Amino acid sequence: MDFRLNRKQEAFRKKFVAWLAENLPPDWDPSRFRNYDGPEAWARAYRDFQKRLFEAGYASMHYPKEYGGQGKTLMEEVIVMQTLASTCMELRVPGIIMHGMAAPTILHCGNEEQKRKFLPKIIDGTQIWCQGFSEPNAGSDVANVSTRAVREDGYYILNGQKVWTSFAHLSDYCILLVRTDPNVPKHKGLSYLLLDMKLPGVEIRPTTQITGGAEFNELFFDDVRVPVEMLVGQEGQGWMIAITTLMFERVLGDAVMGAAYERNIGKMLALAKETKRSGRPVIEDPIFRQQLAQGYIEVMALKYHGLRNLSTQVQGGIPGPEGSIGKLLWSEPNQRIFENAMGMLGPQSQIMSGSPWSVHDGFWQYGFLRSKGNTIEAGTSEVQRNIIGERCLDLPKDVSRAARQK
Ligand SMILES: Cc1cc2nc3c(=O)[nH]c(=O)nc-3n(C[C@H](O)[C@H](O)[C@H](O)COP(=O)(O)OP(=O)(O)OC[C@H]3O[C@@H](n4cnc5c(N)ncnc54)[C@H](O)[C@@H]3O)c2cc1C
């Protein structure tokens, strides 16, 4: 198996790198880790840049042309995504859930009208979408969703609450898991809706995180009327649709995360060279040297795991539960990388972005705090290990979960 780009792919990569160098936003400062203060400015920057990518023919390379994509291969999409992740990740973040989950759900499971209506607007940067799966009583056990959708005269009437909905405050639409039938086993009573966030009865309350930002929210629904045309697939298929699209998108996610983290290891190496502890350069300290080497090993494991899965998918294979390995390979090492960088910084680790004394514009402090959520979001580490145990290694089923699913 050869993971290197072929000559045509390498030529495409170089062309895109050259385009990107000329087309980053005029106010983009690569020395800052946060260029946009406040959610509105961030969302605007995302939309403008996505439009620019679209107009130049670099948005959603592998999506069919009739839905706004470029009709090219998954490899070209990966090349674009990896380059963006290692150059200007900040400009991608508000769109991660949308491109990673909403668009593939609509592409793989939506009807023709939904594909034509929504995909072009996602791809050209007009819309931002969020994901409304989790609820106060449905996180790891997402099949426990209790937000009710009752069908009545061509509408689903929604009542209930979602929580941890990232970017809901910036979003035009939401992919939503709801309960349409409370009288069947819980996995079978779920349905998948596309929700217009501007509908009357949708209330969004931002939640402040330990980083000080408020990127996720609580959502409340009070008799929200969603037209039945917004149902994806059939009523009762919500669980299968949610799982299928999650597995497809983890593959691309791992390859892209690998590129972003490789850049972070490079930054950590620079930090070790620049920083002194007790008068000695950190780079000479054996403990920090080991941490750097270990971080590099883990990022390479993620990178090659992502490429191996990608190669399966390019050859027509369907991704499976091994996606959980990728989730563990990006979330746990990322926490260690930021923890170790804070150790390198010593007392300077207390200085956040905005201070003239902050190192790398507070990148390490923000990342240290934000990475705490990595082992929770998109499924906790414990749950990923259960999936690997049960579905990759065929171990006996987790007893507590089996009991809850009855
Ligand atoms: C930064 C961030 C962004 C998020 N964004 C979104 C979003 O946009 N949309 C969305 O819908 N959700 C989002 N979430 C929610 C996320 O999906 C849930 O937090 C996650 O699924 C865990 O659910 P929970 O918080 O309810 O924890 P719980 O499920 O209550 O778990 C609590 C603890 O119990 C453990 N546990 C649970 N079940 C088992 C088991 N069977 N075996 C062993 N241990 C178990 C867990 O590992 C965890 O340690 C986000 C979360 C974070 C942190």
Q: Does the CB atom of residue 132 touch ligand 1 within 6 A?
A: yes
- Half-sphere CA count of 9, side-chain side, radius 13 A: 16
Q: How far apart are CA 272 and CA 293, in angstroms?
A: 12
Q: 269: closest CA among 279, 257, 259, 282?
A: 282
Q: In this predicted structure, which of 54-63, 110-119, 298-307 has the lowest mean pLDDT? A: 298-307
Contact 320, 246 (CB under 8 A): no
pLDDT on residue 31: 83
- Whole-number Å distance, alpha carbon 142 to ligand 1 midpoint, is 9
Side chain identity, residue 384: Q
pLDDT on residue 402: 60
Six-digit token string for 390 = 């049960």
pLDDT confidence of 175, banded at 50, 70, 90?
Answer: very high
The residue with greater pLDDT, 224 or 253, is 224
Contact 338, 368 (CB under 8 A): yes
- Which residues are catalytic, by number? 249
Domain extent listing, the chain: 7-127, 130-236, 240-404
- Half-sphere CA count of 201, side-chain side, radius 13 A: 14
Residue nearest to atom 41 of ligand 1 (CA): 401
Q: How far apart are CA 78 and CA 65, in angstroms?
A: 17
- Does the pLDDT at position 222 exceed 70? yes
Q: How far apart are CA 274 and CA 359, in angstroms?
A: 10
The residue with greater pLDDT, 378 or 56, is 56
Beta bridge partners, 148, equal 159, 179
Side chain identity, residue 261: Y
Mean pLDDT of the chain: 93
Q: Which atom of ligand 1 is found nearest the CA of 380?
A: 47
pLDDT on residue 243: 86
Q: How far apart are CA 96 and CA 92, in angstroms?
A: 6
- Half-sphere CA count of 373, side-chain side, radius 13 A: 14
pLDDT confidence of 193, banded at 50, 70, 90?
Answer: very high
Superfamily for domain range 130-236: Butyryl-CoA Dehydrogenase, subunit A, domain 2 (2.40.110.10)
Report the pLDDT averaged over residues 354-380: 93
Say which DSSP state 292 is in.
H
pLDDT on residue 237: 97
**What is the pTM (predicted TM-score) of this model?**
0.94
Per DSSP bridges, beta strands 173-179 and 129-132 are parallel
- Tell me whether residue 73 is exposed, middle or buried, using C-beta atoms within 10 angstroms of its C-beta: 0 to 12, 13 to 18, 19 or more: middle
Report the pLDDT averaged over residues 146-161: 98
CA separation (Å) from 20 to 16, 80, 399? 6, 10, 51
Q: How far apart are CA 139 and CA 158, in angstroms?
A: 19
Question: What does the DSSP assignment read for 238-252?
Answer: HHHHHHHHHHHHHHH
Residue nearest to atom 38 of ligand 1 (CA): 140
pLDDT on residue 315: 80
Q: What is the four-CA torsion angle of 95, 213, 368, 255, rounded to 10 degrees?
A: 0
331 CA to centre of own chain: 12
What is the CATH number assigned to the segment(s) 7-127? 1.10.540.10
- Whole-number Å distance, alpha carbon 406 to ligand 1 midpoint, is 20
Q: Which atom of ligand 1 is found nearest the CA of 404?
A: 41
Q: Which CATH number fits domain 240-404: 1.20.1250.20, 1.10.150.120, 1.20.140.10, 3.30.1330.10?
A: 1.20.140.10
Task: Give tens-digit pLDDT for 375-387.
Answer: 999 899 999 999 9
Q: Does the CB atom of residue 147 touch ligand 1 within 6 A?
A: no
Six-digit token string for 62 = 């592998």
Q: Does the CB atom of residue 164 touch ligand 1 within 6 A?
A: yes
pLDDT on residue 182: 97
290 contact partners, CB below 8 Å, separation of at least 6:
none
Six-digit token string for 111 = 């009807």
Pocket test for ligand 1, best of 105, 128, 129, 134 (most atoms within 8 A of CB): 134
pLDDT on residue 316: 75
- Whole-number Å distance, alpha carbon 376 to ligand 1 midpoint, is 5
pLDDT confidence of 121, banded at 50, 70, 90?
Answer: very high
- Does the pLDDT at position 253 exceed 90? no
